[in-house]
């Protein structure tokens, strides 16, 4: 078992130099992200939000509208803060980058001359890499570390977080970038001691190798990974694609005579919009984005939402079960008790205080979009979202605030808070995902989204009972 405690080496100074938002606060005159005021630490990526917030899991992090204020309620003090984060913006996966490149080469061989909005394709060369964080993605996590420090500064001034990362390189690098932001914010805090001798912080890296119990990476449940349920999401997407793509396909083929784009190739061209946007260090909107209408981006966003909902959430019988391991680790941290072992938990790690430290107040874990989706479902979050149709579009507000872009964009972050409040004798719990306070109906959350710790834990029977893990190996 190759578990790594990674000490960060060096800094990301060229990125961090533009990391802190300019505000009237202790962090003084540090400036915004280079892309300007439409991309800030506080609110994330708001550039062309009428389209960029509809790129599903390929959207850069942005503040999701919340009916409940995410400010700490009056009379309450945060005593515990766990962040669960997706990695930052990345290049396409290796297989997808090959497919995208092939699509462009084929398109250019078919079309003699591109005109109008397609003219940029005449001398276009494919330049995207594969699997790695982009500079924009690195910045997202630096900004996230800064924001976390600012939000929990009363704790963060005196403490360092216990940090874990799943083993994929882009996830580990995201954890490094996040700690860089946290560290820089601590140094800039006029009310701190202006020193951070614990930095670089150790990061527990859990491998993603086959057979490794890793609560931050699904891959153990063979029936889920390889059985009939593994096709549910693809089938849902294919049905929706047959509805929304043909009009787009026909319009593009008419605008580029000879293109003969297929449904799949049409979706690939849409994918290139977010990927080229986040490939720009400043998050500059790609010309590919303007090939499609606002309505078409809403349809695309729903296409990606179906992938997450039917792949790793309530639309898949075994989807939520993939998140029960982390859910039980969260219970252990909230209650300062040992982990209830089972599912994907790793007893070698969880029974050792060096590798699963209890009694801390600050925790940070880094993972992937699919794993976050499964974890949210294992925790009963978004459980009022009914099965999503695959022939008609349902926007997030009508889906009880569920969508891929609202839950697992690049650099997504969930905060699990424990609070002491004057008006409550019991410890309270609150969950905030991308700045949206969840109402926590499953444990009768109040107007501030607060549940008692006891009622929150009681609501997690599915996770505490191991989900449907016994069905994973039949």
Helix (H, G, I), strand (E, B), or coil: what is residue 353? coil
**Which positions ≥6 away from 432 have C-beta within 8 Å?**
70, 414, 415, 417, 438, 449
| DSSP assignments along 203-249, one per residue | EEEEP--TT---TTS----HHHHHSGGGGHHHHHHHHHHHHHHHHHH
Active site residue 87: yes
Closest by Cα among 140, 170, 174, 173 to 60:
140
Q: Do the Cβ atoms of 111 and 256 come closer than 8 Å? A: yes
| DSSP assignments along 132-180, one per residue | SBPHHHHHHHHHHHHHHHHHTHHHHTT---EEEEESSHHHHHHHHHHHH
What are 265's two structure tokens? 């190739």
Q: Do the Cβ atoms of 187 and 392 come closer than 8 Å? A: no
Which one from 33, 87, 340, 368 is the annotated catalytic residue? 87
Helix (H, G, I), strand (E, B), or coil: what is residue 456? helix
Which one from 70, 369, 371, 435 is the annotated catalytic residue? 369
Give the other-Cβ count within 10 Å of 303's Cβ. Answer: 23
How far apart are alpha carbons 267 and 344 in whole angstroms? 34
Question: Which residues does the annotation mark as catalytic?
Answer: 87, 369
């Amino acid at each position: 078992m190759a578990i790594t405690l990674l000490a960060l080496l060096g800094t990301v100074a060229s990125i961090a130099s533009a990391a802190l938002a300019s505000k009237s606060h202790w962090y003084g005159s540090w400036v915004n992200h280079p892309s300007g005021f439409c991309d800030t630490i506080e609110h994330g990526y708001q550039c062309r939000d009428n389209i960029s917030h509809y790129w599903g899991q390929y959207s850069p992090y942005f503040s999701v509208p919340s009916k409940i204020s995410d400010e700490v309620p009056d009379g309450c003090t945060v005593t515990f803060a766990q962040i669960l984060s997706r990695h930052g913006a990345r290049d396409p996966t290796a297989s997808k980058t090959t497919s995208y490149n092939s699509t462009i080469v084929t398109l250019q061989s078919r079309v003699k001359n591109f005109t109008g909005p397609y003219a940029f394709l005449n001398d276009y060369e494919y330049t995207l890499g594969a699997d790695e964080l982009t500079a924009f993605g690195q910045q997202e996590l630096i900004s996230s570390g800064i924001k976390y420090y600012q939000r929990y500064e009363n704790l963060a001034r005196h403490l360092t977080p216990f940090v874990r990362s799943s083993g994929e390189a882009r996830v580990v690098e995201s954890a490094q970038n996040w700690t860089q932001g946290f560290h820089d914010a601590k140094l800039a805090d006029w009310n701190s001691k202006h020193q951070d001798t614990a930095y670089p912080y150790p990061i527990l890296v859990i491998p993603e190798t086959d057979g490794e119990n890793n609560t931050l990476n699904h891959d153990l449940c063979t029936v889920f990974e390889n059985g009939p349920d593994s096709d549910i999401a693809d089938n849902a997407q294919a049905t929706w694609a047959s509805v929304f793509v043909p009009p787009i396909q026909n319009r593009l083929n008419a605008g580029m005579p000879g293109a003969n784009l297929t449904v799949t190739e049409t979706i690939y061209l849409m994918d290139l919009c977010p990927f080229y946007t986040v490939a720009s260090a400043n998050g500059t909107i790609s010309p590919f984005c303007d090939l499609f209408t606002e309505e078409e981006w809403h349809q695309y966003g729903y296409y990606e939402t179906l992938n997450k909902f039917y792949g790793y959430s309530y639309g898949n019988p075994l989807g939520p079960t993939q998140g029960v391991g982390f859910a039980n680790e969260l219970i252990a941290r909230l209650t300062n008790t040992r982990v209830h072992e089972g599912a994907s938990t790793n007893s070698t790690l969880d029974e050792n205080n060096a590798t699963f430290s209890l009694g801390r107040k600050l925790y940070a874990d880094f993972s992937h979009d699919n794993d976050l989706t499964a974890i949210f479902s294992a925790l009963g979050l978004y459980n009022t979202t009914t099965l999503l149709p695959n022939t008609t579009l349902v926007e997030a507000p009508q889906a009880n605030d569920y969508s891929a872009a609202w839950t697992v964009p690049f650099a997504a972050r969930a905060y699990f808070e424990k609070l002491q409040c004057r008006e409550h004798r019991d410890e309270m719990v609150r969950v905030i995902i991308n700045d949206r306070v969840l109402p926590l109906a499953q444990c009768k959350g109040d107007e501030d989204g607060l549940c008692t710790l006891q009622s929150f834990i009681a609501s997690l029977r599915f996770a505490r009972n191991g989900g449907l893990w016994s069905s994973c190996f039949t």
